[in-house]
Amino acid sequence: MLTSKNVSGGVDLLHDPTLNKGTAFTEEERDKLALRGLLPPRIFTGEEQSKRILENFHNKTNDLEKYIYMVALQDRNETLFYRTVIDNIEEIMPIIYTPVVGKACQLFGHIWRRPRGLYLTINDKGCIADVLRNWPMKKVGIIVVTDGERILGLGDLGANGMGIPIGKLALYTVCAGVHPSLCLPITIDVGTNNEELLKDPLYIGLLRNRIRGDEYDELIDEVVWAVQDVFPGALIQFEDFSNFNAFRLLRKYQKKVCTFNDDIQGTASVTLAGIYSALRITDQKLTDQKILFQGAGEAGVGIANLIVSAMEAEGMSHDKAKRQCWLVDSKGLVVKSRENLQNHKLAYAHDHELVPDLLSAVETLKPTILVGVSGQPQTFTQPIVEAVGEINEQPVIFALSNPTSKAECTAEQAYSWTNGRAIFASGSPFKPVTLDGKTYIPGQGNNAYVFPGVGLGAIECGTKHVTDEMFFAAAKALANEVTEDDLVSGCIYPPLTQIRDVSAVIAAAVAGVAYERGLATVERPDNLLEYMKSRQYEPNYESYV
């Protein structure tokens, strides 16, 4: 319990966002904690404070200003920040994460106010553990780390990419109830090749080009093993690394430490869950699907890998399951005859004639499901969407690239070009679409449906590793939370307002796998779901007297 003995004074208390209650401090607390006179006399409840926050939030003239305002609240009063976001999640989550966080990262050096998280640089090589020990919290449960090279669909943003770990970890708390004190955002600054940033006088990172090769690998290795020393058992989530680094780092560390890559595995899980829901609408089996991906990077290959595992679980052979997944990249269909294919694409380079573009691939392969993970906007053109609609009575079209400006098509386009027959999902939110008097609610295939629950489950069972099987279990758990009423409206994911309950279900499923596979280090509770719910942080003010 906080007392006046363990804070140095009232002003210090007001400047500590983890303890500050602002105008909600009671009369007794104000006397006991040397706050008398430092606050206006009227005492407000948390609910009344949230009303003030929302009024000011709505008065901001654009989304970036709203983002800055919410970050300032998080820096000032953490409890009020999380309470307000949780109670208004559908409106505020797109502001503190996708799509607005993309613009915030692009301008991060210009809107920077206060430090949050840790910046590790190539200049710290050899003393990473010492830098980690500068973090004030001695127990860390989850670390989200980026090197800023592939931020959303925006490319190399260097140290400006810190907005992503900060935003992701806020969602761990908002969506799954992971206590904020357990969350550590880290940016590894190895330089940037973004010339605009290097010329920007307000850029916050190292003014040098990116390091590569052995020097890079040695730094990443030092970070990973320093975490094991300083924060043993902490889950490391790799976020927004380049395709080349993302795949090989996951392979290198997945079976050595507790880690996962959300761009590869989280995206795969939420997409598979959406496909399961879509198949409930079309009344079809997964093994009968042919999936065509626009984009052959981390997300596309990660989704394909998980779909193959799911098809195998339904009795299909591995080779036949792979043949159901096809990739299109900037050079056309990924086929065996192409030269110099990147390693991660080889598993889906099938024997087939070279097809030069997505429309030709649709017409040739006749897919039942079209998934966009390319980061290239408006690549699902009207002829392409109409072609998929001609092949399928209810075409499944997922335009998953983030932020909204990078989406392969909009919800309105998908519905209008298929006369309302499309089953649509996107990575960033789109508003409901009314067509010929009928309203369609687009699904948001946001990774926030999966990674927070995975993290909660991993922390609470103390798993040694995060496995692909856990993401398969998360996908099935998420799909099972979609109701028939959701499906009738065309929505293939649960409402965001239910995401904390959904995350608890996913956490229980993930922990269940850990216990079954002997990976858990914490004694199994009698009821996993109830235990996960009991461990969720609720942002309510505590009494300090």
Q: Please state the length of the chain.
A: 545
In 133-242, where does DSSP find H-type helix?
Answer: 163-176, 195-198, 213-230
DSSP string, 32-87: HTT-TTTS-S----HHHHHHHHHHHHHH-SSHHHHHHHHHHHHHH-HHHHHHHHHH
Give me the catalytic one of 97, 253, 276, 440: 97
Cα–Cα distances in angstroms (integers) from residue 421 to residues 43, 234, 397, in the given order: 54, 45, 10
Distance CA 526, CA 509 (A): 14
Nearest alpha carbon to residue 459 among 262, 233, 126: 233
Nearest alpha carbon to residue 143 among 222, 219, 223: 223
Distance CA 236, CA 181 (A): 15
- 99 with 194: CB under 8 angstroms? no
Structure tokens, 27: 């009369």
Q: In which residue are the tokens 């931020």 written?
A: 151
Nearest alpha carbon to residue 170 among 228, 98, 235: 98
Distance CA 207, CA 122 (A): 12
Give me the catalytic one of 21, 103, 168, 322: 168
Structure tokens, 70: 């919410």
Give catalytic status of residue 348 as yes or no: no
Q: What type of residue sits at position 489?
A: S
Give catalytic status of residue 97 as yes or no: yes
In 231-266, where does DSSP find H-type helix?
Answer: 243-253
Residue positions annotated with a catalytic role: 97, 168
